[in-house]
Amino acid sequence: MRFLGDAGSRSYAICYPAGLELCRAFVAGDPARFHTLLTERTRVRDLLATVL
């Protein structure tokens, strides 16, 4: 509970689930995309461009 009460840590409670959803949408069951996600530098805007 201390973690959630800390002003600097509050954003993590939202960022992790949102990032997971974005990564799942990007990968979409494709092993090659999963490999790309793990091995290359990928920006959020690049993930969004692919998903949207």
Q: For residue 22, what pLDDT is reported?
A: 92
Summarised one tens digit per residue, pLDDT across range 7-42 is 666 666 678 888 899 999 999 999 999 999 999 999
Q: What is the largest CA-CA distance in the chain?
A: 40
Domain count, the chain: 1
Q: For residue 9, what pLDDT is reported?
A: 66
pLDDT higher than threshold 80 for residue 3: no
pLDDT higher than threshold 90 for residue 50: no
Q: Which residues of 6-42 are buried (b: 16+ CB within 10 A; e: fewer)?
A: eeeeeeeeeeeeeeeeebeebbeeeeeeeeeeeeeee
CB 48 within 8 A of CB 26: no
Q: For residue 16, what pLDDT is reported?
A: 82
